[in-house]
Structure 1
């Protein structure tokens, strides 16, 4: 097992820090709640970050921060290239498999 200096995974305790990081980056963050079925308490949150005419939308603050970081790194050429798609598909095919059904 590896020993890492930092080990962070998305969890309930990462939502607020990511929200704060977005605000520190100067984004206005909006959260919209959609109530899908009252009887089952089915709810869906949508997160938006807005700054200088830019709008980013995601299902969580963690995803929102990730999208913004991707855009800050890549700029307007953020869309996937054929080489990136191929590389990602190859890496995904090599994923470690844990099958609890067997």
Structure 2
């Protein structure tokens, strides 16, 4: 029987996320913050597309979304607001 996998957002996934981006041809780097309380902004660039996020997993997620949906990545008028729907299901109407 194959073991079920459970993968969660944690710092031990950051290096793998950066390696995935690099393997897909993205140049990745960290732009340090001037504020000592923050690490900085993670960047990825490929062709004419630049992406920025506060951690490598968010960076990978933004790029995955853009690769799937393109430059018109925003929710379209005919698409449901899944975020609000799931919030309501989880937290109920308040």
Q: TM-score range by the shorter chain?
A: 0.7 to 0.9
TM-score where L is the length of structure 1: 0.77
Q: For each residue in 1:53-90, what CA deviation from the matched residue of structure 2 results, as whole angstroms up to 9, or x when unmatched?
A: 10011111000000111111111221122454633211
Q: CA deviation at 1:93?
A: 1.1
Counterpart among 81, 88, 92 of residue 76 in structure 2: 81
Residue segments in structure 1 that go unaligned for 5+ positions in a row? 98-102
Decide which of 30, 36, 46 is 2:41's aligned counterpart. 46
Q: Does 1:60 align with 2:59?
A: no
CA RMSD of aligned residues (A): 2.0
Query: Which residue is 1:21 aligned to?
Result: 20
- CA, structure 1 residues 83+44, in 2 after alignment: closer, same or farther (shift >3 Å)? farther
Q: Deviation above 6 Å: which 4+ runs of structure 1?
A: none
Q: How many residues align?
A: 90
Larger-gyration structure (1/2): 1
